[in-house]
Structure 1
Amino acid sequence: MAEVAGVTVDTGHWIGGERVGSAAEFTDVSPIDEQPIAEIARGGAAEVEAAVTAATRAFPAWARTSREERARLLHAIADGVDKRVEELAQVETADNGALIRSHRRGVIPRVAHNFRFFADWLLRLGHDDFETRGHRNHVSWDPAGVCALITPWNAPLMLATWKVAPALAAGDTVVLKPAEWSPLTASLLAGIAAEAGLPDGVLNVVQGLGTEAGAALVAHPDVRRISFTGSVPTARNIAAAAAPNLTPLSLELGGKSPLLVFADADLDLAVDLAVEQYDNAGQVCLAATRLLVEASIAGEFTEHFLARTERLVQGDPRDLSTDIGPQIHRKHFERVDGLVRRAKADGARALIGGGPNTDLGGLYYRPTLFTGAPEGSEILSEEVFGPVLTLQTFDTEEQAVAMANGTRFGLAATLATGDPERAARVTEQLVAGTVWVNCFFVRDLRAPFGGSRQSGVGREGGDWSFDFYCDVKNTVVAPWEK
């Protein structure tokens, strides 16, 4: 047990409806002050085996449970989340350093919405029957089995339930492996689900390191689906481990997304969109970190951008006036700093930031904007996942599109323009799973979500989630003799 932000959190695994410890533990450190906040049970192959066994045993009954009952239980879990928004927000902020105001206003309420959405979508899921030469075709979505869900640290509970909710709605059972840098709210979720009446073994949580618990989980022969959000190198390892079992994968990976600003754009809107990319201290996979600005307005845009960023407040994420908190972990902080240092060595110039916030110390990194980075340099091609943006200019629409598509990623893109026809032309050519025009981070669970190129494999959301978490079956029935 641990007391975190005044909330009691059980630090054991949740397997088969019981709390389970491990012989070893790992230390969970708060990014706010780099102080230990909990000792977490460190799972490995034995705990994974127990969790998969529990999920396998629970699967037949859960798969036979009616859609209406599964939906009712998901709504009950959502009710439990709603009752504990403040507790979940406090623990999440202590654990991953994101803003308390964001957790209260949007992130934790979105957790409940994830469960309600997929519960309701399940009840309307279907396809009209159709005929082939007098034969009736009927499409159905059958539960697939045990799902291994491996989730990231930047929005731990919200992104976990983006996977957990559709998997449970589909009739699958789940083994959830949360990120080791932010495991606490996954443990709280297990308790909320149990209180809601979710049967034992349907949801299991195994904590541990990716190289231990994660590796054992994705290689397990009884796992029938793997959904992972994280880095490209880790995804390659997961795909290799899943290959012998032919386990279907859904991978949401990194990004190096562009924000294209044309001269006909609303300048204030474009600047607001650019500044918004510092959200969550830059630890957002969808962030448009490459600012591509038409040369004729680049000077004015930069002037307005610098004025806006000067008003950003960096500090303790528990303070409601804070706009930018810390990086998640010392290892990640050093990675961000290494990328910034190498960018300077390559000739890029920092107009703002360019290093740690020495006034705050710890894991706080100043919002940074680079200009003049050489074409093809690391800072223009590799995901930083920190508060680091680059600015480049273009002269023509064709050049802008080529620059936007000029990385190995294709997760998202943002476009600022006052011309609807230009917006249509450009968005059609952009390689991205999601494109926003004159807006950012507008997300609807009915829409497909995923990446192109090395930003991912597959799509989730709405029917796409059920297509992944189910075995989609077509039954063809010949005409019955009268």
Structure 2
Amino acid sequence: MNERYLEVAGVKVSPDLYVDGKRIACTTTFENFSPIDQRSLGMMSEAGPQEVDAAIEAALRAFPAWAALGPEKRKAYLDRFAQEIGKRADELCVLESNDAGVLLSRMRHGVVPRAMLNLTHFAAHALTLQDRVIDTAQATHRVRHDPAGVVAIITPWNSPLMLATWKIGPALAAGNTVILKAPEWAPLTSSLLADCADAAGLPPGVFNLLQGSGANTGAALVADPRLSRISFTGSVPTARKIAQAAGANLVPCSLELGGKSAFIVLEDADIEQAAATGALMYRNAGQVCLAGTRFLVHERIRDTFVETMRMNVASLRIGDPREEGIELGPIIHPRQVDRVQGFVQRAVDAGARLLWGGRAHPYGAQYFEPTMLTSVQQRDEIVQQEVFGPVLTLQTFTDDGEVVALANGTDYGLGGVCYGETQHAADVAEKVRTGFIWVNSFGIRDLDAPFGGVKRSGIGREGGDWSFEFFCDVKDVMLPKQPFRASFSHR
């Protein structure tokens, strides 16, 4: 690997691609900025069609040997990969905080440990998959999970390290080779992840990294018929383009998309707990697809809930995400700030009322006040469309039938939260059309459980067996229990 590096807050990181075990510099570049203070973090190599082709060729060459290793030997590689992430934990934390505006404390205590677990857990899970047996009267069926081939993984900017390893773990453990397309607005931890893969000794071509825009790098990647799978987390408009390109080649896609999830507070809810959890919906400046952004509160407790949550929100500390005690950092990019402000302004113009927030925060240009809008209608844009910023809405309801109808009244269905007496909340939660829903809780993510959305929130599930169902070709080897005699006769 060459010695060309950027230096970000004392951490050296390559600005170049990683293909076939080597760093590749490109003549085409793009500038990367920090959302904290808009300073330049350096010029990054941008892959074009030639570099995309090289990455796919490298992954194709590496696939047969990597697939033939078997899950136990692949596990050893992935365990070392996770160890290398652990060795460079401090660097990864500093990079992602500077590059994506993620809280440094969250990186240290949540994201990096989870990134390591994503690799080790799925490596261990792969050991349980082979030669599952189904016995019937006619045959013994040996069900195999065979690696599919070359996998393209495209991740978003709001949690680059965690979401990359969440997909890389099962893809590599299953025996596929991987091409990771890093997020254009936050590419640095993906680059350091390539260094970790290299240090772990992954064979050349098993893991490859591309950087660049969706219109250039991403479009060339997803249109290639040599891919066997595409796994994408991001927006609905981008997913449509990916699905269209993949559909032309009949390449299966897993799409984890946006959310407009309901946060339901029933009349019998613990208001203090619900309000404290409600304030968490502003986490990562609201740039969290699974957050409950539509608050649906029983009309009898509406005023008490609003005042309790107002106090929780007022105590949130906004500022530099690298500082201890800060709870809300910046929005990723000036374009995203404009998008958030536009949603709020249009909502107010349409008759919505601000309970709090609604404007840029004085700390800096990419900081936005935690915002809550009420007096909104179900058909309003602010209720129907994902904002992806620290903006929530509040509506009231009178009974369970009404709240279920409101919760189900958008084109999205990723997550949800429901607070109330446990059985009552569970009964309501079961009627909400969504991929998952937390009852009297938030943020629980077990790697063996399914994760994904319904309606416009995505296609497919990740986690546990579901990840391997996607990243593998499932094959049934049938052994007859009686001697088989070929015959065209009808019985």
Which of 391, 415, 420 aligns to 2:418? It is 415
Aligned to 1:402: 405
Aligned to 1:149: 153
Do the aligned partners of residues 416 and 318 (structure 1) sit closer, same or farther apart at CA in structure 2, a change above 3 Å counting? same
* CA distances 1:289-319 after superposition (whole Å, capped 9, x unpaired): 0110000000000011111111111111011
Q: CA deviation at 1:361?
A: 2.4
Q: Which amino acid aligns with 1:434?
A: F
Which of 208, 223, 226 aligns to 1:219? It is 223
Asked if residue 386 in structure 1 is aligned to residue 389 in structure 2, the reply is: yes
> For the residues of structure 1 that align with 2:253 and 2:397, how far apart are their CA atoms?
38
Aligned to 1:2: 6
Aligned to 1:287: 291
Aligned to 1:441: 443
Aligned to 1:118: 122
Displacement over 4 Å in runs of 4+? none
**What secondary structure does 1:278 align onto?**
helix
**What secondary structure does 1:477 align onto?**
strand
For the Cα contact (< 8 Å) 2:134–2:143, is it kept in 1? no
Q: Which amino acid aligns with 1:394?
A: F
> For the residues of structure 2 that align with 1:298 and 1:230, how far apart are their CA atoms?
33
> For the residues of structure 2 that align with 1:387 and 1:131, how far apart are their CA atoms?
53
**What secondary structure does 1:147 align onto?**
strand
Asked if residue 40 in structure 1 is aligned to residue 44 in structure 2, the reply is: yes
Asked if residue 369 in structure 1 is aligned to residue 369 in structure 2, the reply is: no
Alignment of 1:167-316 (within 5 A): 167-316=171-320
Range 303-312 or range 124-133, more displaced = 124-133
Aligned to 1:72: 76
Q: Which amino acid aligns with 1:249?
A: C
Asked if residue 459 in structure 1 is aligned to residue 469 in structure 2, the reply is: no
* CA distances 1:90-120 after superposition (whole Å, capped 9, x unpaired): 0000000011010011011110010011011
Asked if residue 136 in structure 1 is aligned to residue 140 in structure 2, the reply is: yes
> For the residues of structure 1 that align with 2:135 and 2:378, how far apart are their CA atoms?
56
Q: CA deviation at 1:38?
A: 1.6
> For the residues of structure 1 that align with 2:132 and 2:68, how far apart are their CA atoms?
22
Q: CA deviation at 1:432?
A: 0.6
Q: CA deviation at 1:480?
A: 7.6
Structure 1: runs of 5+ lacking an equivalent: none
Which of 82, 96, 99 aligns to 2:100? It is 96
> For the residues of structure 2 that align with 1:92 and 1:38, how far apart are their CA atoms?
14
For the Cα contact (< 8 Å) 2:266–2:425, is it kept in 1? no
> For the residues of structure 2 that align with 1:342 and 1:44, how far apart are their CA atoms?
38
Q: CA deviation at 1:244?
A: 1.4
Q: Which amino acid aligns with 2:480?
A: A
> For the residues of structure 2 that align with 1:406 and 1:83, how far apart are their CA atoms?
47
Do the aligned partners of residues 406 and 70 (structure 1) sit closer, same or farther apart at CA in structure 2, a change above 3 Å counting? same
Aligned to 1:432: 434
* CA distances 1:150-199 after superposition (whole Å, capped 9, x unpaired): 00000001001111111000000011001100001111111111111100
User: What's the TM-score once normalised by structure 1's chain length?
Assistant: 0.98
> For the residues of structure 1 that align with 2:352 and 2:120, how far apart are their CA atoms?
47
For the Cα contact (< 8 Å) 1:2–1:9, is it kept in 2? yes
* CA distances 1:374-405 after superposition (whole Å, capped 9, x unpaired): 33111111001000011110000100000000
> For the residues of structure 2 that align with 1:228 and 1:153, how far apart are their CA atoms?
12
**What secondary structure does 1:315 align onto?**
coil
For the Cα contact (< 8 Å) 1:122–1:170, is it kept in 2? yes
> For the residues of structure 2 that align with 1:143 and 1:264, how far apart are their CA atoms?
49
Q: Which amino acid aligns with 2:384?
A: S
For the Cα contact (< 8 Å) 2:422–2:440, is it kept in 1? no
Aligned to 2:486: none
For the Cα contact (< 8 Å) 2:378–2:406, is it kept in 1? no
Q: Which amino acid aligns with 2:467?
A: S
Do the aligned partners of residues 165 and 419 (structure 1) sit closer, same or farther apart at CA in structure 2, a change above 3 Å counting? closer
> For the residues of structure 1 that align with 2:130 and 2:429, how far apart are their CA atoms?
31
Q: CA deviation at 1:272?
A: 1.0
For the Cα contact (< 8 Å) 1:176–1:204, is it kept in 2? yes
> For the residues of structure 1 that align with 2:174 and 2:201, how far apart are their CA atoms?
17
Q: Which amino acid aligns with 1:399?
A: E
Structure 2: runs of 5+ lacking an equivalent: 484-491
Q: Which amino acid aligns with 2:166?
A: W
**What secondary structure does 2:12 align onto?**
strand
For the Cα contact (< 8 Å) 1:264–1:419, is it kept in 2? no
For the Cα contact (< 8 Å) 1:370–1:391, is it kept in 2? yes
> For the residues of structure 2 that align with 1:191 and 1:436, how far apart are their CA atoms?
37
For the Cα contact (< 8 Å) 2:450–2:462, is it kept in 1? yes
**What secondary structure does 2:127 align onto?**
helix
Do the aligned partners of residues 39 and 265 (structure 1) sit closer, same or farther apart at CA in structure 2, a change above 3 Å counting? same
Do the aligned partners of residues 174 and 419 (structure 1) sit closer, same or farther apart at CA in structure 2, a change above 3 Å counting? closer
Q: CA deviation at 1:478?
A: 2.3
For the Cα contact (< 8 Å) 1:346–1:374, is it kept in 2? no
> For the residues of structure 2 that align with 1:14 and 1:187, how far apart are their CA atoms?
8
**What secondary structure does 2:322 align onto?**
coil
> For the residues of structure 1 that align with 2:469 and 2:325, how far apart are their CA atoms?
43
Q: CA deviation at 1:82?
A: 1.0
Identity of aligned residues (%): 49
**What secondary structure does 1:124 align onto?**
coil
> For the residues of structure 2 that align with 1:92 and 1:251, how far apart are their CA atoms?
24
> For the residues of structure 2 that align with 1:58 and 1:480, how far apart are their CA atoms?
41
> For the residues of structure 1 that align with 2:415 and 2:235, how far apart are their CA atoms?
16
> For the residues of structure 1 that align with 2:456 and 2:73, how far apart are their CA atoms?
38
